[in-house]
Amino acid sequence: MNEVALPQLEDKHGRRFEYLRLSLTDVCNFRCSYCLPDGYRKAKGVPANLTVDEIRRLVSAFAELGLWKVRLTGGEPTLRREFQEIAAAVSGISGVRKIAVTTNGYRLAERAQSYADAGISAINISMDSLKPARFRAITGHDRLDEILRGIEACRAAGIGSIKLNAVLLKGLNDDELDDFTAFVVAHDLALRFIEVMRTNDNPEYFNAHHLPGIYVANRLEALGWQRQARQAGAGPAIDYANPHGPGRIGIIAPYSKDFCASCNRLRVSATGKLHLCLFGDAGIDLRPLLQRDDQRAELIERLHRLVATKAPAHLLHQGNSGATPHLASIGG
């Protein structure tokens, strides 16, 4: 136990990192057209996923450096056999105050209670359309109804934060803006529109379907929704509230000016590679330092050194998506 608090993780641009996005697997059972349109294919020679003990050592070191929020992601994180064991292990780490998961909603209705029991207090559920046929066309699965039942199951299980993620897609769901808005109002929910991001695998798709987040902002403002002041330490989303009742809508617009200035997150892949940016280089292998509890001091020192080198901004505007083939490889 350290008696003296260690300095927090901070880079040379004054950004502090209190939020880890941890991928548990790059396997996914969906075929989202912007992510894995041909479904998951196992690449040759990929190392095994981090074990529960390796994850515990990793997150404990981050927590000692002031990180308090962990999001479990993937691929589809809930496909990991040890998903609940991992969530419970992370929630037991001193300093971790919030465990979130991002899921495609697979079997959510029947599993929500077990997620809550494992300590998950926040869930983001991907839902790109409210129309069953479109949902199927975008994700390859006829599971919209399962998601809708899953949302109710999350509420019944007492999961405090339930958010929907919808990737904004020109020509595929941009005509559903008002339907989504009515849905979050009727169900008292929060939803985030995410601009589709260009990755190494999807440049044509990106060119065909990218729509700037300002399209959503303009519509919300026309409906009288109010842009919220950015809270200290908040991430890069632009948030709107409905002044007439419940419902919140956020916009994640990575192509907008200054998006990277408020970056507060770090990422670790399922095999233990630290990614300082979603669109950065191949990632730095932390696994050799996750093998024994007595490597903790060395791991902490390495994290400090690496985080200090984080680049000020991504190079997406120059058409450079770094080494990221698709977001299932890092967790979005």
Interacting residues toward ligand SAM by CB under 6 A = 28, 34-35, 73-74, 76, 102-104, 126, 165, 167, 194, 196-197, 199, 202, 327-328, 331-332
Q: How many CB atoms lie within 10 A of CB 27?
A: 18
User: Which position among 20, 22, 24, 36 is part of the footprint of ligand SF4 (CB under 6 A)?
Assistant: 36
Tokens 């919140």 belong to residue? 248
Q: What is the SS3 assignment for 109?
A: helix
User: Looking at beta carbons only, is 28 or 58 nearer to ligand SF4?
Assistant: 28
User: Which position among 9, 18, 63, 75 is part of the footprint of ligand SF4 (CB under 6 A)?
Assistant: 75
H/E run at residue 241: strand 238-241
User: Looking at beta carbons only, is 19 or 40 nearer to ligand SF4?
Assistant: 40
Among the residue ranges 25-33, 42-50, 228-236, 314-322, the one whose residues contact ligand SF4 (CB under 6 A):
25-33
Nearest distance, CB of residue 206 and ligand SF4, angstroms: 14
Strand ordering across the sheet containing 122-126 = 226-227, 238-241, 248-252, 190-195, 161-168, 122-126, 98-103, 69-74, 19-25, 265-268, 273-275, 284-285
Distance CA(249)–CA(253), nearest Å, equals: 13
Contact partner at residue 150 from ligand SAM, ligand SF4, none, CB < 5 to 8 Å by partner kind: none
Contact partner at residue 196 from ligand SAM, ligand SF4, none, CB < 5 to 8 Å by partner kind: ligand SAM
Asked if 147 touches ligand SF4 (CB under 6 A), the answer is no
Angle at 268 between CA 264 and CA 272, to 5 degrees: 155
Among the residue ranges 74-82, 151-159, 190-198, 275-283, the one whose residues contact ligand SF4 (CB under 6 A):
74-82
* Residues numbered 94-123 forming contacts with ligand SF4, rule: CB under 6 A: 104
Nearest distance, CB of residue 305 and ligand SF4, angstroms: 31
Amino acid of residue 218: N
Nearest distance, CB of residue 300 and ligand SF4, angstroms: 31
User: Looking at beta carbons only, is 129 or 181 nearer to ligand SAM?
Assistant: 129
Contact partner at residue 36 from ligand SAM, ligand SF4, none, CB < 5 to 8 Å by partner kind: ligand SF4
- If we measure between CA atoms, which residue out of 303, 251, 255 comes closest to residue 278? 255
User: Looking at beta carbons only, is 238 or 299 nearer to ligand SAM?
Assistant: 238
Distance CA(141)–CA(231), nearest Å, equals: 37
Nearest distance, CB of residue 242 and ligand SF4, angstroms: 27
Query: Terminal CA-to-CA distance of the chain, rounded, Å?
Result: 33
Contact partner at residue 73 from ligand SAM, ligand SF4, none, CB < 5 to 8 Å by partner kind: ligand SAM
CA dihedral 113, 117, 121, 124 (to 10 degrees): -40
User: Looking at beta carbons only, is 63 or 328 nearer to ligand SAM?
Assistant: 328
Among left, alpha and beta (phi > 0; psi -120 to 50; other), residue 224 is: left
Q: What is the SS3 assignment for 305?
A: helix
Contact partner at residue 197 from ligand SF4, ligand SAM, none, CB < 5 to 8 Å by partner kind: ligand SAM
Angle at 272 between CA 86 and CA 256, to 5 degrees: 100
Interface contacts to ligand SF4, rule CB under 6 A: 28, 30, 32, 35-36, 74-76, 104, 126, 328
